[in-house]
Chains A and B, each alone.
Chain A
Amino acid sequence: MSEGGDVFELGRKEIYWILAGFVIAVLMLAFVIIVGGYQGRLMAVPSGIKAQFVTLRFFTNPDCFAYQDPITKRVFPYTIDLSKFTEKQMTGCYQTDKEKGYRDFNFKVTIDYGGMSVQTNNYYQVSQFSQEYAVLIWDGKHFIPSTVTVDVQETLSYIPGDKQNQQLSNQQLTEKVNQQATRNLIKARTKG
């Protein structure tokens, strides 16, 4: 072969190695992602269990909604103190990061008795599943059997809609529902 042919041969090999290098890098990256993903899937904990462990605090921790006897300081598990059932209390109980908190669990807790509800700071009405709990409600005078529904919003990859407007409308909506629920309760008590 001529000298020109040899040079062409070497140039072709270089192009081959540039392409091969790129393909090998992509394959290695894909391999890492696939194996890592497989490992993640094998070791994943069902989100229902994780959510249940987090929601436990709502009903058993006096810094959340659990009723605590003011004299004996005894905490009544699964007994909700209606006076604590506020957004402020929820913020002190479970607050996700302001910026990236939508990637964590967020909750909306609704008491069937009166239909009152509170939600965490990054709840965007994207409930993936719900959990129900039988509870007692302490209204200041009596223990009333009721049910609580916890709507769970799992990890979101993005915020649905405009964040600020959504948050504002969520809070307004919750306040409106709570006001209506309080009115219903007062009506029911007056009738009773």
Chain B
Amino acid sequence: MMNKKAVSIILMLFEIIVVIVVVGIALSIATRLGKPETLQKINAADDIAMMVNVLISMPGDVLVEYPRDMSIYLLAFSSQTITIYEGDRSKDVDPAIRTFILPNKDYAAVGFVKQKAKVCLQKEGKTITIKECPTV
């Protein structure tokens, strides 16, 4: 039979390890949710979804620059959503996804931009494209 004092020391060590792990997990969650890159990613997804809605309502062709540095993000349109990954698609397990509703089947939102500082949305006819801004 194990010595009672030894058992109690092992249990105490186990308790300390559990506390450290729990505090560590809580801190990592708080840091992940609160870091500026995550917040900017969510903001950008909201902004771009709203920009798409505005572009839909424009009768003509439009080219508009998103006024923030997006050099650490990957932005992709798919069907009726904008998805923004921080860094690479494989590294970000929690991308910001926002949906929008296009008028009918003739309309489409396409394209993706990988880590470019200047990102533009272009509406040509009934197609909205996300791409790197052309150099002036």
Residues of A within 8 A of B (CB): 1, 3, 6, 9-10, 13, 20, 24, 28, 31-32, 35-36, 39, 43, 45, 49-50, 53-54, 56-57, 59-64, 66, 68, 75, 77, 92-96, 104
Q: Which of B4, B34, B99, B103 contacts A63 (CB 8 A)?
A: B103
Q: Which of B41-68 contact A (CB under 8 A)?
A: 42-43, 46, 50, 53-54, 56-59
A124 nearest CB across to chain B (Å):
17
Whether the pair A56, B57 counts as a contact (CB closer than 8 A) is: yes
Q: Which of A13, A31, A43 contacts B39 (CB 8 A)?
A: A43
Kindly state the separation between the CA atoms of A6 and B7 in the bound complex, as whole angstroms.
10
Whether the pair A54, B30 counts as a contact (CB closer than 8 A) is: no
A-B contacts, 30 of them at CB < 8 A, read: A1-B4, A6-B4, A9-B7, A24-B18, A28-B25, A35-B33, A36-B33, A39-B33, A39-B34, A43-B42, A45-B46, A49-B50, A53-B50, A53-B57, A54-B101, A56-B53, A56-B54, A57-B53, A59-B57, A60-B57, A61-B57, A61-B59, A62-B59, A66-B59, A68-B59, A77-B59, A93-B104, A94-B101, A95-B101, A96-B101
Kindly state the separation between the CA atoms of A63 and B11 in the bound complex, as whole angstroms.
70
Residues of B within 8 A of A66 (CB): 59
The verdict on B29 contacting chain A, using a C-beta distance below 8 Å, is yes
A49 nearest CB across to chain B (Å):
8
Residues of A within 8 A of B46 (CB): 43, 45
Residues of B within 8 A of A59 (CB): 57
Whether the pair B22, A28 counts as a contact (CB closer than 8 A) is: yes
Kindly state the separation between the CA atoms of A45 and B101 in the bound complex, as whole angstroms.
17
Question: Chain B residue with minimal CB distance to A62?
Answer: B59
A16 nearest CB across to chain B (Å):
9
The verdict on B17 contacting chain A, using a C-beta distance below 8 Å, is no
The verdict on B16 contacting chain A, using a C-beta distance below 8 Å, is no
The verdict on B20 contacting chain A, using a C-beta distance below 8 Å, is no
Residues of A within 8 A of B4 (CB): 1, 6, 9
Question: Chain B residue with minimal CB distance to A75?
Answer: B59
The 0/1 profile, CB within 8 Å of A marked 1, for residues 96-116 of chain B is 000101011010000000000
The verdict on B13 contacting chain A, using a C-beta distance below 8 Å, is no
Residues of B within 8 A of A54 (CB): 53, 101
Q: Given that A3-B1, A93-B104, A94-B101 are known contacts, is A61 also in contact with B29, CB under 8 Å in the complex? A: no
Whether the pair A53, B29 counts as a contact (CB closer than 8 A) is: no
Residues of A within 8 A of B11 (CB): 13
Question: Chain A residue with minimal CB distance to B38?
Answer: A39
Apart from A35-B30, A53-B57, A57-B103, list 10 A-B contacts with CB within 8 A: A1-B4, A28-B25, A39-B33, A39-B34, A39-B42, A53-B53, A56-B57, A93-B103, A94-B101, A96-B101
B61 nearest CB across to chain A (Å):
13
Kindly state the separation between the CA atoms of A95 and B104 in the bound complex, as whole angstroms.
8
B45 nearest CB across to chain A (Å):
10
Residues of A within 8 A of B1 (CB): 3, 6
Residues of B within 8 A of A64 (CB): 103
Residues of B within 8 A of A94 (CB): 101, 103
